[in-house]
Amino acid sequence: MKTRTGLKLSDVGEFGFIARLARTFNQRLSENVTGIGDDCAVLPWKGDWKLLVTTDLLLDGVHFLKEKIEPTDLGYKALAVNLSDLAAMGGEPLWAFLSIALPAETELAWADRFFSGWKSLSEKTQVKLLGGDTTRTTASMVINVAVLGKAREKYIKYRSGARPEDLVAVTGELGSSEGGLRLLLKKELKDLRGPAEKSLLRRHFRPRPQLQEGFFLAHQPQVGAMMDVSDGLDSDLRRIMERSGTGAEVYLEKLPVSPALKRCSQQYGWRLEEVAAAGGEDYCLLITVRPEGYSDLDRHYRQKFGRSLYPVGRITSKKGKLIYLQAGQPVILQKSGFDHFKI
pLDDT digits (tens, 9 = 90+) for 60-99: 988 888 889 999 999 999 999 999 999 999 999 999 999 9
Distances (CA, A) of 243 to 87, 228, 316, 320, 328: 19, 15, 14, 10, 27
Average pLDDT rounded to a whole number, residues 270-285: 96
Residue 215 CB contacts under 8 Å (≥ 6 apart), including other chains:
87, 90, 91, 92
Distance CA 184, CA 187 (A): 6
Q: What is the rounded distance in angstroms from the CA atom of residue 82 to the CA atom of residue 252?
A: 28
- Can you tell me whether residue 163 is helix, strand or coil? coil
pLDDT band (50, 70, 90) for residue 139 = confident
Q: Is the pLDDT of residue 1 over 60?
A: no
What does the pLDDT average to over 93-118? Answer: 96
Q: What pLDDT does residue 64 have?
A: 87
Average pLDDT over residues 187-215: 93
Q: Which CATH architecture describes the domain 159-331? A: Alpha-Beta Complex (3.90)
Query: Per residue in 6-48, pLDDT tens?
Result: 777 666 666 666 666 666 556 666 678 777 779 999 999 999 9
Q: N- to C-terminal Cα distance for the chain?
A: 28
Tell me the domain boundaries of the chain. 39-155, 159-331
pLDDT, residue 293, reads 98
Share of the chain above pLDDT 70, in %: 90
Helices (H) and strands (E) in the chain, counts: 10, 12
Residue 339 has pLDDT above 50, yes or no: no
Q: Residue 192: which pLDDT band, with cuts at 50, 70 and 90?
A: confident
Least confident of 9-18, 252-261, 307-316: 9-18
d(CA 84, CA 72): 18
Which of 2-11, 282-291, 330-339 reaches the highest mean pLDDT? 282-291
CB neighbours (10 Å) of residue 96? 23
Mean of the per-residue pLDDT values of the chain: 91
CA distance 93 to 5: 45
Q: How far are the Cα atoms of 107, 133, 165, 194 from residue 235, in angstroms, in the given order?
A: 37, 31, 20, 30
pLDDT for res 11: 66
Whether residue 300 has pLDDT greater than 70: yes
- The CATH class that applies to domain 39-155 reads alpha beta
pLDDT band at 336 (very low <50, low <70, confident <90, very high): low
Measured at the CA of 114, the angle between CA 171 and CA 133, to 5 degrees, comes to: 100
User: How high is the pLDDT of residue 258?
Assistant: 98
pLDDT at 248: 98
Q: Give the pLDDT confidence score for residue 341 in this predicted structure.
A: 42
Mean pLDDT of 285-309: 98
Starting at the edge strand found earlier in the chain, the sheet holding 223-228 runs 223-228, 285-289, 167-170, 310-316, 247-251, 322-326, 329-331
What is the C-alpha to C-alpha distance for residues 197 and 182, in angstroms, rounded to an integer?
Answer: 10
Residue 2 reports pLDDT greater than 50:
no
